[in-house]
Amino acid sequence: MENKRKPYQLVSREWKKENTVIQLKNTSIGDGTLSVIAGPCAVENEDQIFTICEFLNKHQVKILRGGAYKPRTSPYSFQGLKKDGLILMRNAADKYGMNVITEVMDTNLVEEVAQYADILQVGTRNMQNYQLLRALSKIDKPVMLKRGMSSTMEEWLLAAEYILSGGNYKVIMCERGIRTFENATRNTLDLSIVPLLKSVSHLPVIVDPSQGTGVRELVLPMSLASVASGADGIMVEVHNQPEEALSDGAQSLYFDQFGELMGRLKTVAPVFGKSLDLESEKILS
Ligand code: PEP
Ligand code: MN
């Protein structure tokens, strides 16, 4: 008889029926709450990251994002503050009891990044860097695997399989848009993959509408659409001065836009069976 087994195993629902839940400090991903991950594209300086972190904490965001090692298309663009960025971000997050997610670009940086981050992000350009995936399979920290911009779902799941098969089961999938002929948006956010992914895999799914659209005005509607698609959370870029941002300013939300987004999520999430992980209603009411 023909073997209809999928090429991936450990990431599949056939292997494990229950949703994988990623436990963090004060929160978890994939437990039925809607996780909101927010912060600047890149850590730029102390004032910037502390200002943004303080603002996000007021909105009860529990996971701070920010790049310290930045994969930039041009070698002349800002490459990130590197280790100094990791330290600044860790200090800002610790001040407010938040978790840190940041990108690890290279195998030889896994140890350093894991020392400061609560979740290690694999960027779209590295989804098929198998050496990196193998190195991440040996650490005891969650990994968020962004979809390769030209990758199929199967390739993406097989990349995740590298991490699980090496012994790290704490993997989060992140849809961040794929390359298509459409150039009016930076990428084409493939939200149809979310319910499909959730049906074939037990891993939590986050959507990044910031890289997914490249346009800050599109972040709110696509965040709401992400919730409707069944995502376990969203990751958005927010900046205190988007026009001064050293990377991805055009897709970074202003503070008031982020406030509006949180208000809308609070209304919309319950409609789709998710609650926002908020201790009190005082900030958003
Ligand atoms: C980012 O999150 O800032 C980023 C570089 O993401 P991606 O790898 O999806 O482009
Ligand atoms: Mn970015």
With a cut of 90, say whether residue 151 has pLDDT above it. yes
Work out the average pLDDT over 36-63: 98
Q: Which residues of 253-283 are buried (b: 16+ CB within 10 A; e: fewer)?
A: bebebbbebbeebbebbeeeebebbbeeeee
How many beta carbons lie within 10 A of that of residue 203, not counting itself? 28
Q: Which ligand is nearest to the CA of 104?
A: 1
What pLDDT does 277 receive? 78
The predicted-structure confidence for 190-200, as pLDDT tens digits, reads as follows: 999 999 999 99
Asked if residue 47 belongs to a domain, the reply is yes
Closest by Cα among 81, 147, 145, 162 to 116 = 81
Please state the pTM of the whole predicted model.
Answer: 0.96
What pLDDT does 3 receive? 57
- Give the rounded percent of residues in the chain with a pLDDT score beyond 90: 94
Asked if residue 276 belongs to a domain, the reply is no
The residues, ordered by sequence, that sit 6+ positions from 11 with a Cβ below 8 Å of its Cβ are 157, 160, 161, 164, 171, 201, 202, 203
SS3 state of residue 53: helix
C-alpha 25, offset from chain centre: 16
With a cut of 80, say whether residue 5 has pLDDT above it. no
What pLDDT does 200 receive? 98
What pLDDT does 279 receive? 75
Q: Which atom of ligand 1 is nearest to the CA of 177?
A: 9
Contact 259, 214 (CB under 8 A): no
Mean pLDDT of the chain: 96
Most informative mutation of 124, 144, 156, 234 for ligand 1 (most atoms within 8 A of CB): 124
CA distance to 14, 35, 95, 223, 237, per residue, from 42 (Å):
38, 20, 19, 21, 9
Asked if residue 114 belongs to a domain, the reply is yes
What pLDDT does 110 receive? 98
How many beta carbons lie within 10 A of that of residue 95, not counting itself? 12
- Give the rounded percent of residues in the chain with a pLDDT score beyond 70: 96
Asked if residue 116 belongs to a domain, the reply is yes
Work out the average pLDDT over 53-76: 97
List the residue whose alpha carbon is closest to atom 2 of ligand 1: 41
What interhelical angle do 255-271 and 46-58 show, nearest 10? 40
Structure tokens at 272: 């789709």
CB of 124 closer than 6 angstroms to any ligand 1 atom: yes
Asked if residue 11 belongs to a domain, the reply is no
CA torsion sign for 35, 38, 41, 44 is negative
Residue 105's domain comprises 22-269
What pLDDT does 284 receive? 47
Query: CATH number of the domain that 249 lies in?
Result: 3.20.20.70
Amino acid (one-letter) located at 186? R
The predicted-structure confidence for 204-247, as pLDDT tens digits, reads as follows: 999 999 999 999 999 999 999 999 999 999 999 999 999 999 99
With a cut of 50, say whether residue 283 has pLDDT above it. no
pLDDT band for 38, please (50, 70, 90 cuts). Answer: very high
Asked if residue 5 belongs to a domain, the reply is no
Contact 219, 250 (CB under 8 A): no
Structure tokens at 225: 């659409």
What pLDDT does 278 receive? 81
pLDDT band for 285, please (50, 70, 90 cuts). Answer: very low
CB of 146 closer than 6 angstroms to any ligand 1 atom: yes
Asked if residue 246 belongs to a domain, the reply is yes
CB of 67 closer than 6 angstroms to any ligand 1 atom: yes
Number of residues that make up the chain: 285
Give me the numbers of helices (H) and strands (E) for the chain, helices first please.
9, 11
What pLDDT does 182 receive? 98
CA distance to 89, 151, 181, 191, per residue, from 116 (Å):
8, 29, 38, 31
How far is 35 from 41, CA to CA, in rounded Å? 18
Asked if residue 13 belongs to a domain, the reply is no
User: Based on the structure, what is the number of domains in the chain?
Assistant: 1
With a cut of 80, say whether residue 282 has pLDDT above it. no
